[in-house]
A and B are shown apart, each in its own frame.
Chain A
């Protein structure tokens, strides 16, 4: 039962946090704040990958998180960049003791340790090879005071929180009303995973000459603008009734 409840449970945590803070909507930023509170950490950021334009912070809790993410972009090396590029989580429970970290990201590791970062967890946000960014969690300890490394259960929660963040990024307008309407919790439990959607993503990425992530966002935006089901638009793209052209107009054949 734990698996079924984890997603719903954390979804409710996010919604409750937003309505408690009086926010009418859940954004990626407010999700970061809720996640930070839930996990007991001080710094979380969601960063988009460079291939989508310039690497940018889509949501952040704690100025330190923003600085650490931007530092990696400046240096061109860092754990969240690795997580985005390789598509696998980068998890470092003890940054000070981790010889690999010092080798892979020497300047970043030095700066992070100086800022009191002891653990970091970078969770890539992607759909297949379509990359949308990274959910970056930093744990800070000053003078030995602060949270210890994430326990497995907390890491599992972080994993789901990253999935919810991706959900929010992918939904139209990228927001969700804090009473859960607009996209009901039931809808989120149903993950429309039809192959046509992924095939259409590939096709549109070639048509528009963009990366897969941007292609999927464009398809979703078009479906929203035309008030159509995503799967219907995807079917039309696959059967070539619809094409995307680089000037962003889709033509009906």
Chain B
């Protein structure tokens, strides 16, 4: 991780000790607003992660959701290293996020350096990446735990209750928008929003690969092209991705050589790349 030339993956918590109430209200209203029909779940979850980093005194945050088949997926994280650490929990089947998800209750560990009994593989790995405190919050909908939000701090004991409580509040607002299984006409069960969103994300990745190969560009450049094209044509990204995959007429514009390959850096790449610089405001 220290070899990366990119900006510091973990934020130096330069935010004030107290949470700004006006900003918090604004964020809650914004979150509630986005819970309208047709919203983009993946983008929303990334937004939630960003808000946590912005509002709270935390160093890193990761969000996992259950896919409805008993498997947890990493949905959003504040930096690439965080995403890898979340994946590490899943691969080794241990860690605060997993415990929290299974128990449906918050899991607190003020000092990961002293937690090798608790998580013999995860605790040293987290410490190696510079994280000392962990706090996982359940995302609960009625009686179901649908996921977990993992907060981290570089200082032992650095996750203060005032901040974790605010995070729980944000998470509760967010969870309302998740997992709605609807029985439609003729008993056709429509996929719940999460599955649809997971699906959509994979479709976008597949379309990026197809476009990248056709145009001789990187997937990141392909993503920028797809986003720009769908915005310019007031369409949805996932619809354009499907069109690219099927070779449909709507995709002719992005696939043809009439559009120059984007030479600028890609727009915000959700979750996968290092993302915009989230270190302390300068």
A joins B in a complex: yes
Residues of A that sit less than 8 Å from B by CB: 1-8, 88-93, 98, 100, 127-130, 155, 159-160, 163, 186, 189-191, 193, 195, 198-207, 212, 238
Shortest CB-to-CB span from A16 to chain B, Å, is 17
B182 at the interface (CB under 8 A from A): no
In the complex, A242→B145 CA distance in Å? 42
* Residue pair A7, B219 in contact (C-beta under 8 Å): no
Residues of B within 8 A of A (CB): 66-71, 73-74, 90-91, 93, 101-102, 104, 144-145, 186-191, 199, 202-203, 205-214, 218-219, 242, 245, 272
Does B199 contact A128, Cβ atoms closer than 8 Å? yes
Given contacts A190-B91, A202-B207, A4 and B70 within 8 Å (CB-CB): yes
Q: In the complex the two chains form, what is the Cα distance from A128 to B145 in whole Å?
A: 25
Q: Which of A2, A5, A155, A193 has the most CB of B within 10 A?
A: A193
Nearest B residue to A191, CB-CB = B71
Known: A1-B102, A91-B188, A93-B187. A202 touches B73 (CB 8 A): no
How far apart are the CA atoms of A205 and B244 in the complex, in Å? 12
Report if A190-B202 is in contact (Cβ < 8 Å); known contacts: A7-B69, A93-B187, A199-B212.
no
Q: How far in angstroms is the closest Cβ of chain B from A77?
A: 18
Q: Which residues of B contact A205 (CB under 8 A)?
A: 206, 209-210
The CA of A177 and the CA of B174, in the complex, are separated in Å by: 42
Docked complex Cα distance between A163 and B207 (Å): 23
Query: How near does chain A come to B248, taking the closest CB pair, in angstroms?
Result: 12
Of B189, B208, B272, which is within 8 A of A89 by CB? B189
Is the contact region of chain A dominated by helix, strand, or loop, or is it mixed? Answer: helix
Q: Are B70 and A88 in contact (CB under 8 A)?
A: no
Chain B positions within 8 Å of A127 at CB level: 202
Q: Cβ of A100 and Cβ of B186 under 8 Å apart?
A: yes
A5 to B101, CA, bound (A): 12
CB distance from A35 to the nearest CB of B (A): 15
Contacts of A199 in B (CB 8 A): 205-206, 208-209, 212, 219
How far does the alpha carbon of A130 sit from the alpha carbon of B145 in the complex, in Å?
30
In the complex, chain A residues whose CB is within 8 Å of the CB of B245: 129, 202, 212
Residue with the highest number of chain B CB atoms closer than 10 Å, among A90, A198, A206: A198
B213 partner residues in chain A, CB cutoff 8 A: 202-203, 206-207
- Pick 28 A–B contacts, CB within 8 A, sort by A: A1-B102, A3-B68, A4-B70, A4-B102, A88-B191, A91-B186, A92-B187, A129-B207, A129-B242, A129-B245, A160-B70, A189-B71, A189-B93, A199-B208, A199-B219, A202-B209, A202-B210, A202-B212, A202-B213, A202-B245, A203-B210, A205-B209, A205-B210, A206-B209, A206-B210, A238-B209, A238-B218, A238-B219
What is the distance, in angstroms, from B238's C-beta to the closest C-beta of chain A? 10
Please report the C-alpha to C-alpha distance between residue A186 and residue B91 in the assembled complex, in whole angstroms. Answer: 8
